[in-house]
């Protein structure tokens, strides 16, 4: 049930919509005019207005708000948005503008992998309570959904991508419960819903989620334009290729500069009853090989644990990624996503430039690796480095 405190008094009546914000950024020279982005902004404005229309009417009595509000599932819940298209088209920027303007407090913006790691943790905690006799509810999904919707009825996901079978198997049930409770979903992705979890194990069990998604959100393409991230590449020496003595010396020199005056030693991160090995670390800087992070059975949750402790990652010896390295490619994609989403820095040595690492572009990995290339390019831009420096100074 929407409560009085669910509405943000400061932003309950925003003076501008996403379209106005976008026009201001274009007018200020921060963005180039883009008619496709302008049309997408109108979509966000319509959703913003629909959410605002749900705002409980003010009553003259002190308890008027209580009697004016109703459960969201008994009212018309606005349809969410699923925006898909090529990398660097502005999907995330537009979603973030929308998120900042939505006048409710129970909202959450997260990378999809981070959200699912949270879901699995909650399910594990519920099962432990069941084991300890603290609850009689055998099915963990309804109470987990209830807790999630109590915290946020608007969920905004950046880079919606399903690669993990554990995620794929639970999504239909989880979002069935969330949508029934009035959840509004907004997501960006590189692929259309019908291509999610393509070629995945037991994909037939995942397909009901695609049908559920289409029932509750509008599917919109944002494509046929410029990848604006490519314009940010300043060629900073943080991605060395090809592999060899020169690349190794450059990585060692950068490592010495980043760890100057600090004690360097191997360590580990305790996570879910096991340990993630860190071959070398000093302060907030850690160094791994590609094998350490991508050839071992690690997932997005493990990378989140690493990025919570370190904000600068050194990654040595990224190889060419052929069909025989499909699992390693998926892990590398997840790793880059996590680094980028946390605004962390990456120093890497690789067999080739980002756009040449993937040997064969097939299926889901081909779509997703386009995003990886774009993000690797942005990570080495001056703007990204400045944003990282500013973020560290605010801590």
Can you tell me the distance from the alpha carbon of 40 to that of 91, in angstroms, rounded to the nearest whole number? 9
Average pLDDT value for residue range 201-220 = 92
pLDDT, residue 393, reads 56
Name the strand (E) or helix (H) holding 338. helix 326-341
Task: Return the DSSP state at 318.
Answer: E
**197: confidence class by pLDDT, cuts 50, 70, 90:** confident
Can you tell me the distance from the alpha carbon of 160 to that of 232, in angstroms, rounded to the nearest whole number? 24
Average pLDDT value for residue range 57-68 = 47
**226: confidence class by pLDDT, cuts 50, 70, 90:** low
CATH annotation of 229-394 = 3.40.50
Nearest 5°: phi and psi at 223? -150, -165
Task: Return the DSSP state at 319.
Answer: -
With a CB cutoff of 8 Å and minimum separation 6, the contacts of 13 are: 52, 103
74-88, 223-237, 342-356, 370-384: range with lowest mean pLDDT? 223-237
Query: Looking at the chain, which residues constitute the CATH 3.40.50.300 domain(s)?
Result: 4-221
Average pLDDT value for residue range 18-45 = 88
Which position has the token pair 């990456």? 346
State the greatest distance between any 2 C-alpha atoms of the chain, in Å, as a whole number: 76
**Does residue 366 surpass a pLDDT of 80?**
no
pLDDT, residue 362, reads 67
Mean pLDDT, the chain, whole residue set: 84
Average pLDDT value for residue range 251-274 = 89
State if pTM tops 0.85.
Answer: no
Nearest 5°: phi and psi at 3? -100, 165
158 class by beta-carbon count within 10 Å (0-12 exposed, 13-18 middle, 19+ buried): buried
pLDDT, residue 201, reads 83
**Does residue 32 surpass a pLDDT of 50?**
yes
Spell out the alpha helix ranges (H) of the chain: 18-27, 35-53, 64-68, 91-101, 112-131, 141-151, 165-180, 207-216, 245-258, 290-294, 300-309, 326-341, 363-379, 382-394
pLDDT, residue 297, reads 92
Share of the chain above pLDDT 70, in %: 83
DSSP track, 52-104: HHTSPPP-SSTTHHHHH---GGGS-PPPEEEEE--TTSSHHHHHHHHHHH--B
24-38, 167-181, 301-315, 335-349: range with lowest mean pLDDT? 24-38
Residue 30's SS3 state is coil
Share of the chain above pLDDT 90, in %: 49
Domain 4-221: which topology? Rossmann fold (3.40.50)
**35: confidence class by pLDDT, cuts 50, 70, 90:** confident
**Does residue 323 surpass a pLDDT of 60?**
yes
**Does residue 8 surpass a pLDDT of 60?**
no
pLDDT, residue 200, reads 81
pLDDT, residue 120, reads 92
93-126 confidence digits (pLDDT tens): 899 999 999 989 999 998 888 898 899 999 999 9
The more confidently predicted of residues 298 and 381 is 298
69-85 confidence digits (pLDDT tens): 444 445 689 999 999 88
The more confidently predicted of residues 342 and 154 is 154
227-245 confidence digits (pLDDT tens): 554 444 444 457 899 999 9
Q: Which of 20, 52, 38 is nearest to 89 (CA)?
A: 38
pLDDT, residue 178, reads 97
pLDDT, residue 233, reads 41
């Amino acid at each position: 049930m929407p409560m009085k405190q669910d509405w943000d008094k400061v932003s309950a009546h925003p003076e501008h919509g996403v379209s106005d914000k976008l026009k201001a950024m274009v007018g200020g020279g921060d963005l180039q005019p883009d008619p496709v982005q302008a049309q997408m902004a109108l979509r966000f404005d319509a959703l913003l207005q629909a959410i605002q229309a749900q705002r409980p009417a003010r009553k003259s009595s002190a308890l008027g708000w209580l009697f004016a509000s109703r459960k969201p599932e008994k009212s018309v819940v606005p349809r969410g948005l699923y925006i898909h298209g090529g990398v660097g088209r502005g999907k995330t920027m537009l979603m973030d503008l929308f998120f900042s303007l939505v006048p409710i407090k129970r909202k959450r913006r997260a990378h999809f992998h981070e959200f699912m790691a949270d879901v699995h943790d909650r399910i594990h905690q519920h099962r432990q309570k069941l084991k300890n006799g603290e609850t009689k509810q055998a099915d963990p999904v309804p109470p987990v959904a209830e807790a999630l919707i109590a915290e946020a009825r608007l969920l905004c996901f950046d880079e919606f991508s399903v690669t993990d079978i554990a995620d794929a198997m639970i999504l239909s049930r989880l979002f069935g419960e969330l949508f029934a409770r009035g959840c509004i979903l907004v997501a960006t992705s590189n692929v259309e819903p019908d291509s999610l979890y393509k070629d995945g194990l037991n994909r037939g069990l995942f397909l009901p989620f695609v049908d559920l998604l289409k029932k509750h959100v509008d599917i919109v393409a944002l494509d046929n334009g410029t990848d604006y991230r490519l314009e940010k590449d300043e060629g900073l020496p943080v991605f060395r290729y090809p592999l060899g003595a020169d690349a190794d010396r450059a990585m060692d020199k950068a490592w010495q500069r980043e760890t100057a005056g600090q004690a360097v030693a191997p360590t580990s991160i305790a996570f879910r009853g096991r340990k993630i090995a860190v071959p070398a670390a000093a302060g907030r800087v850690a160094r791994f090989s590609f094998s350490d992070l991508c050839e071992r059975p690690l997932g997005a949750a493990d990378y989140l644990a690493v990025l919570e402790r370190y904000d600068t990652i050194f990654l040595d010896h990224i190889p060419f990624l052929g069909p025989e390295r499909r699992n390693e490619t998926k892990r590398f994609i997840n790793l880059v996503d996590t680094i980028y989403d946390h605004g962390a820095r990456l120093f890497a040595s690789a067999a080739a430039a980002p756009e040449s690492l993937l040997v064969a572009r097939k299926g889901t990995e081909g779509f997703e690796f386009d995003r990886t290339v774009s993000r690797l390019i942005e990570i080495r831009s001056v703007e990204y480095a400045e944003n990282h420096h500013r973020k560290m100074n605010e801590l």
